[in-house]
Amino acid sequence: MKVAKVWEYENCSTCKKALKFLANHNIAIEKIDITKNPPSKAELKQMLPHVGGNFKKLFNTSGRVYQSQNMKEKVATMTEDQALTVLAGNGMLVKRPFVLWNDKGLVGFDPKKWGKVFER
């Protein structure tokens, strides 16, 4: 079994819940501080099929950075490549937790969805 790469933000309550879920399910993880090491463009592209190919689902729309930079209007006119470049450049814009594990990918924390992915 491969280790799950988990991009998280230390002060994020949703990330804490997700990490607890993974610990309770005995999933080996590699924690990555999303503020210091955001997912690369290649990792963001790897996530796209898991969000129906919609790069807009990778944005943390409730975050302060997204709102203060008026990203809603900017994202509306971005190409996929532009969006992935912006996301790779600022982890606070990425929806979290952001998890890549084996051939699966998850953004945000939904216990039901995560249960289906991490069932053994």
- CA dist., res. 102 & res. 75, Å (int): 29
* 12 belongs to the catalytic site: yes
Q: Is residue 114 classed as helix, strand or coil in its secondary structure?
A: helix
- CA dist., res. 76 & res. 24, Å (int): 38
**Selected catalytic residue, list 12, 29, 48, 117:** 12
Residues sharing a CB contact under 8 Å with residue 29, sequence separation 6 or more, in sequence order: 3, 4, 5, 6, 19, 22
Q: Which positions are catalytic?
A: 12
